[in-house]
Amino acid sequence: MAAIAGCVVDEIDHLDRIASHSLILRHHWSRSLASSYLEGVEDVMDACNSTALFEIDDAIFTLTERPTRADWPAPMIIYVAEIYDAQNEIGAEHFEIVVGPDGQRERRELLGV
C-alpha cells in the first residue's frame, strides 16, 4: 500500500487477464493540460467517474479506466507521455509503455497510432 495525495492505494504491476477494463496513466506538463484532457475524456466516455488527476512532487498524471479494445491482446496498463522538443512546439514524440497480464513491460503503440 502507498499513500498518494492523502489517499491510501494498493500498488499493482499488472491487471488480471479477466479484468473488464484497461488503465491509462498519462503524464501532463501542467494542471491545466491535465484538466483539459480529462474534460475531453469525460465528453466521449460514458463512465465519467473513472478518471482521476494526481500530483506527485512536480509531476502531474491522470489515471483513466477504459474498456479494453477487441484488438488488444488483453487488459493492459498503458503509460503515456508526449515528449516535446520545445514547450511551444506543436509536434511531439509519443512515448508509450504497456504492461500486460504477465507483468512484462514493452514499448508498443496502442493509443498513439
Domain boundaries, given as residue ranges, for the chain = 13-107
Q: What are the tens digits of pLDDT across the range 26-44?
A: 999 889 989 888 888 888 8
Average of pLDDT values for 42-64?
80
Q: How wide is the angle at C-alpha 12 spanned by C-alphas 50 and 17, nearest 5°?
A: 80
pTM: 0.77
Average of pLDDT values for 92-98?
81
CB–CB of 80/111 below 8 Å? yes
